[in-house]
């Protein structure tokens, strides 16, 4: 299965991605996690990414696309993958289209996790106190939500027009949400 998980910061993408990866036996590929790993390892990519991440801005498409291209070429991703946090812009959608076309592959589905803004703000506040992420301060959080609305929310319509979109209610207990996702994918 080749899947994309879409949703605002705090929708539960990371949590669900890890569970779905196990259930579906595909690697969960989180661009946010890869950037954070590079930041803590002090790589050049990490240094480039950090300034954007700390401001709640997206890392430039060329940088992100190159990183995903390399990751998707790894052997564990040839038969399937679950992308968490990519694509996030129309230019990233185009790049993913090119990568898939070159591999003669197609996305099976784009799962949109829906949650209301109030719940997202609550979840982000909780994560900030638990995980101490440098991009989880209140101002930056608000900005991350704005950036999502402007740059990423339009991808929902785009994938819907392509007939790939599955909207899933992201509210509720973690296993319940996983169950809903597996059900819409026909794996429940
Ligand atoms: P996440 O953990 O998915 O919320 O990502 C954390 C941060 O990493 C984002 O706020 C961006 O700065 C950066 N990032 C992750 N994925 C992408 C992407 N697809 N495009 C650009 N920036 C990204």
Closest-CA residue, ligand 1 atom 11, reads 58
Block means of pLDDT (10 residues each) for the chain, length 188 residues? 95 96 97 96 96 96 97 95 98 98 96 89 83 79 93 97 97 96 94
Atom of ligand 1 nearest to the CA of 35: 8
Using alpha carbons, select from 8, 2, 17 the residue that is nearest to residue 113.
8
For the chain, the maximum distance between any two Cα atoms, rounded to a whole number of angstroms, is 44
* DSSP string across 35-97: HHHHHHHT-HHHHHHHHHHHHTPPPPHHHHHHHHHHHHTSGGGSS-EEEES---SHHHHHHHH
Omega before residue 87 within 30° of 0, cis: yes
What domains are defined for the chain?
2-184 (3.40.50.300)
Ligand 1 centre from 25 Cα, in Å?
Answer: 24
Give the atom of ligand 1 at the shortest distance from the alpha carbon of 85.
3
């Amino acid at each position: 299965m080749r899947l994309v998980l879409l949703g605002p910061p705090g929708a539960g993408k990371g949590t669900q991605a890890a569970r779905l990866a196990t259930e579906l036996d595909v690697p969960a590929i989180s661009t946010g996690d890869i950037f954070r790993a590079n930041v803590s390892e002090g790589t050049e990519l990490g240094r480039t990414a950090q300034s954007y991440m700390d401001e709640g801005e997206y890392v430039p498409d060329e940088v992100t696309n190159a990183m995903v291209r390399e990751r998707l070429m790894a052997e564990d991703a040839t038969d399937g993958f679950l992308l968490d946090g990519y694509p996030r812009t129309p230019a990233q959608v185009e790049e993913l289209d090119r990568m898939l076309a070159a591999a003669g592959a197609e996305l099976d589905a784009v799962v949109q996790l829906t949650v209301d803004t109030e719940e997202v703000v609550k979840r982000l506040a909780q994560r900030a106190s638990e995980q101490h992420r440098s991009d989880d301060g209140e101002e930056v959080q608000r900005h991350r939500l704005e950036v999502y609305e402007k740059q990423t929310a339009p991808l929902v319509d785009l994938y819907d027009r392509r007939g790939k979109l599955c909207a899933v209610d992201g509210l509720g207990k973690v296993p319940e949400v996983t169950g809903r996702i597996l059900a819409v994918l026909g794996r429940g």
